[in-house]
Structure 1
């Protein structure tokens, strides 16, 4: 083989090596590009899943009830508090207000309290996000039943049961408790109305005062 042939062979080998190295680098770049594309796709999928989960997730809400133990039922109240702390150790209790994750949790809890042996007596009034009673009430008079609804609805339920059980002491006391609560609620609403309409109240007072003053003058 002549020198020219040897040189040509070397040049061919070098070219092959160059092309092989070029192909290797190209393959590496292709692999890196594919890996990056896959990473971006995976990230898009994860973000889509997170967006869907955040959209579908229900808004976190809580439900608060202010519990008012009937007169003389302090022992029942303490037991209710103890049971509540066991179930919801991180939920603060202030002004006799118990806060539950959902309405179902609240009803389940108070149903269990009403069915204790002996049954526990309580009046639990739902408190809205504005800190005012919503009108929804859970009540136990000690007969093992949980009554729920407005005070008027619970009063109707108790009266209906008293027709069949007129001598039931728990029903009698329970009805008295609900009627007292209804009167208190009505007085509260009337007070709010006077606060919201002070000018009307003042006008009525001035008119009455004028009439009294006028009558006095005529009498004289």
Structure 2
């Protein structure tokens, strides 16, 4: 396994992060489509999930009574899912030279379990260093107004949407937490304004990835 921040494989590992309702999942799909149209091999995946074992853990965590797990237990479950995802999906794709686009990665655990469910950020980072040891090459943070994001998130339906119920105060804290992460990991974070329609934001995503969308000479 590569060390944190190292890139020893031939592919490119991108992650999308953002508060609930930021549109990051939509933008991850749009980027995957744009790169596939260039003829690149793209693996679009998500967390928690992205491999058969990790998807089983996703269902275990996100369905049912949200209070049945302690924050510490959730961190262990998400780390186990991430390890399986890394082994089964991410690393094999990178070794083939593919572009891996992941909807959330470890930064989401740093925020949701490390910030929202107790001061457990150090625990998250220690487990990540011990069991994962890999960060994305580039993390695209879709930044938007927390109130607008919450309104959009609450308009969705589905049994898995549970963190939105924590309310606007959490959304505000999460946005600031993500901006703080972007400062801490400035070498890999790129902030994209999430205001506007899907096409407008997608154009901003492409503009922040000149190594993938350089204009012809």
Q: TM-score range by the shorter chain?
A: under 0.3
Instruction: State the structure with bigger RCO (CA 8 A, min sep 6), 1 or 2.
Output: 2
TM-score (norm 1): 0.22
Higher CA-based Rg: 1
TM-score (norm 2): 0.22
